Amino acid sequence: MSVTSVNIEGARERWVRTGGVELCVAELGDASQPTVLLVHGYPDSKEVWSEVAERLADRFHVVLYDVRGHGRSTAPAPLRGGFTLEKLTDDFLAVADAVSPDRPVHLVGHDWGSVQGWEFATVERTEGRIASFTSMSGPSLDHFGHWIKNRMSRPTPRRAAQLIGQGAKSWYVYMLHTPVLPELAWRGPLGKRWPKMLQRLENVPADGYPTASLPQDAAHGAWLYRDNVRARLRRPRSDAYAHVPVQLITPLDDAFLSPKLYAELDHWVPQLIRRTLPAKHWIPRTRPDQLAAWISEFVRTNEDGIPARDTVATGPYADRFGGRLVLVTGAASGIGRATAFAFAEAGARIVAVDRDAEGATRTAEMARLIGAPEAWGEVVDVSDEQAMEKLAEKVATEYGIVDVLVNNAGIGLSGSFFDTTAEDWKKVLDVNLWGVIHGCRIFGKQMADRGQGGHIVNTASAAAYQPSRALPAYSTSKAAVLMLSECLRAELAGQGIGVSAICPGLVNTNITSTTRFAGADATEEKRLQKKTSRLYGLRNFPPEKVASAILRAVAKNQAVVPVTPEARGAHLMSRFAPRTLRAIARLEPPL
Ligand code: NAD
């Protein structure tokens, strides 16, 4: 059959002969740099790694090979018994010795490449040949075997549910154990439809992957399951401890593997770092930027001899936001600053944006102290479209595409409708609404164009759903932000981009001392600002709690998040007792 391959830019190919097969090996980058060895899964070939490999090649010696029987590597004869983990370990050692004879390699595996990787990282004969292991979407069969045994021997309702949950996700494993049928399906209709299925079900981009060798790869690869799964799950090794540091990357929406599978992994891995991604199974195709960033960081820290646990942030949500690029507007003060700090504590890279230059720089400096590996302060007026365009260009070229965008900058405006001038309206809408629109249009577009998901948070307010005679303009601006967020959430859902609207009640920040009071002269305005500040001070709800709610909203992809009890109460009333809320709206403000 004719075999074409996705072009991996700059790859040099060579052949490695081992145990009766010839393995096709591709190399990129400078061979004097640390070697990162990427092992593909099922049904895949080495080209599944093309996007990740190209991103790593400027820093590392990147090596990929077609597993025996896949891609351009030859298959063992007979097939039965030719795919045991012992033979696959021989292949790995032959490739590692050929490409990096003097230095251990940094192993990375996806799916069956990861299942193999666990074997390599836990058997004695590879000791000294592996410097680190990054595992994604493929457990150790030994660990999996013990995981099942633990749940069978000491069942609780939760453990039984986990067992049933993973059992249901493993339907394809039983199918692959039937003789002949999988081969017929892959060489027939399934092989033809698979590329379209990957695009539809997994959001894999239509960029020429999988390669034409897919039906053959899938037919041969069925022996990976038949030669190993039953035997290992029945008699898992009890000494399958990792002798290298491991980074575990878990896509949270994996249709084939439950994140619960890794619950007991700390027992097997003395040096374990966990990362999670809101993504499906085929992350080498759908999230190459994130994978390349995490692999680079892990390889670097291990090369420098620093235990990853000492450099990788360990705060709440560290597994979710570590190394991600987060941009927060209005980050010089209040909720924005607290949010930048909370993401920094989780190990994210921070762009702190504000029109207050000094405040933004200060936030960035403190974010670095708190745990951000990198942080920058940037000055912009969010209502200025051109300035926002320029900032977005700078951020994309210098720091990367934003993973989490927090449109938070906002100003207060109080006063009756007739006291509010057209100029007042313009100002509040320019910042509170147009600032959010520009952020979503410009940074959100970059996120969508990249095609690797992300999250947008817009700071609205409880005022978005709670009418009040005191805040007509401010409430209107926030109601618009809430609706914009809902509409955008619907539009971007299919692209893996979540949108959350945060609706705080009264939060103790500087906003009260800068809020404009329409209709009041300067002295009266000062008095009202002071009085409001005192009131908010007495209420004393800290911005840090809003920041926690923002991180939770991103992690759980929540749509509308009222924060503070009064905001939650008003939200319930807006749905179930709108007349009461309207009656409250008529009350004179207590100022
Ligand atoms: P804050 O005044 O402490 O912080 C707002 C920050 O935004 C400031 O650093 C300010 O310089 C910046 N900013 C204002 N206009 C800007 C512009 N045009 N361009 C760039 N930066 C600008 O206020 P906060 O309470 O932290 O407010 C943050 C967000 O939360 C706002 O959108 C606000 O409407 C909203 N909110 C606040 C409360 C509250 O009670 N504090 C309640 C609900 C919603």
pLDDT at position 174 over 50 = yes
Whether the Cβ atoms of residue 512 and residue 532 lie closer than 8 Å to each other: yes
Please identify, among 311, 343, 373, the residue that sits at the C-terminal boundary of a domain. 311
Q: What is the predicted pLDDT for the residue at 337?
A: 98
The CATH number for 448's domain is 3.40.50.720
Please identify, among 260, 277, 311, the residue that sits at the C-terminal boundary of a domain. 311
Q: 153 — phi, psi (to 5°)? A: -85, -30
**What are the pocket residues of ligand 1 if the criterion is a CB atom closer than 6 Å to any ligand atom?**
329-330, 332-336, 354-356, 359, 381-383, 408-411, 431, 435, 459, 461, 504, 506-507, 509-511, 514, 543
Please identify, among 247, 276, 311, the residue that sits at the C-terminal boundary of a domain. 311
The CATH number for 88's domain is 3.40.50.1820
Same domain, yes or no: 246 and 338: no
Whether the Cβ atoms of residue 566 and residue 503 lie closer than 8 Å to each other: no
Domain contains 471: yes
Same domain, yes or no: 285 and 239: yes
Query: Which atom of ligand 1 is the closest one to the Cα of 337?
Result: 26
Torsion angle, alpha carbons of 541, 355, 552, 473, to 10: 60
What is the widest separation between alpha-carbon atoms in the chain? 91
- Single-letter code of the amino acid located at 590: P
Residue nearest (by alpha carbon) to ligand 1 atom 31:
410
Same domain, yes or no: 98 and 198: yes
Residue nearest (by alpha carbon) to ligand 1 atom 33:
410
Mean pLDDT of 453-469: 97
Q: How confident is the model at residue 2 (pLDDT cuts 50, 70, 90)?
A: very low
Torsion angle, alpha carbons of 214, 219, 224, 228, to 10: 160
Mean pLDDT of 104-112: 98
Q: pLDDT tens digit string along 200-225?
A: 999 899 888 999 999 999 999 999 99
Mean model confidence pLDDT for the chain: 93
pLDDT at position 1 over 50 = no
Q: Can you give the residue range of the structural domain that contains 231?
A: 12-311
pLDDT at position 524 over 70 = yes
| Cis previous bond, 543, omega within 30 | no
Domain contains 591: no
Separation CA 90–CA 108 (nearest Å) = 17
Separation CA 513–CA 509 (nearest Å) = 9
Domain contains 2: no
Q: What is the CA radius of gyration of the chain?
A: 27
Same domain, yes or no: 270 and 331: no
Pocket test for ligand 1, best of 327, 328, 329, 333 (most atoms within 8 A of CB): 333
Mean pLDDT of 388-411: 97
Q: How confident is the model at residue 469 (pLDDT cuts 50, 70, 90)?
A: very high
Domain contains 5: no
| In the block, residue with structure tokens 């896509």 | 251
Whether the Cβ atoms of residue 315 and residue 290 lie closer than 8 Å to each other: no
3-state helix vs strand vs coil in the chain, percent to 5: 50, 15, 35
Q: pLDDT tens digit string along 28-57?
A: 999 999 999 999 999 999 999 999 999 999
Q: What is the predicted pLDDT for the residue at 304?
A: 87
Burial of 473 (0-12, 13-18, 19+ CB in 10 A): buried
Same domain, yes or no: 466 and 434: yes
Q: Is the dihedral of CA 326, 327, 329, 333 positive or negative?
A: positive
Q: Could you give the C-alpha distances from 359 to 61, 353, 432, in angstroms and in order?
A: 42, 9, 19
Domain contains 1: no
In sequence order, what DSSP letters do the residues of 311-371 get, joined into one string? HS--STTHHHHTT-EEEEESTTSHHHHHHHHHHHHTT-EEEEEES-HHHHHHHHHHHHHHT
Mean pLDDT of 237-255: 95
Same domain, yes or no: 292 and 401: no
Q: 220 — phi, psi (to 5°)? A: -65, -45
Same domain, yes or no: 409 and 436: yes
CB atoms near residue 81 (< 10 Å): 11
Separation CA 327–CA 539 (nearest Å) = 29
Q: What is the predicted pLDDT for the residue at 310?
A: 56
Separation CA 472–CA 136 (nearest Å) = 51
Q: pLDDT tens digit string along 406-416?
A: 999 999 999 99
Same domain, yes or no: 189 and 276: yes
Same domain, yes or no: 301 and 389: no
Residue 242: strand, helix, or coil: coil
Domain contains 3: no
Domain contains 562: yes
Domain count, the chain: 2
Q: What is the predicted pLDDT for the residue at 3?
A: 37
Separation CA 240–CA 122 (nearest Å) = 5
Same domain, yes or no: 380 and 299: no
Same domain, yes or no: 435 and 303: no
Residue nearest (by alpha carbon) to ligand 1 atom 32:
410
Separation CA 53–CA 63 (nearest Å) = 8
Separation CA 212–CA 227 (nearest Å) = 25
Same domain, yes or no: 381 and 453: yes
Pocket test for ligand 1, best of 511, 513, 514, 539 (most atoms within 8 A of CB): 511
Domain contains 260: yes
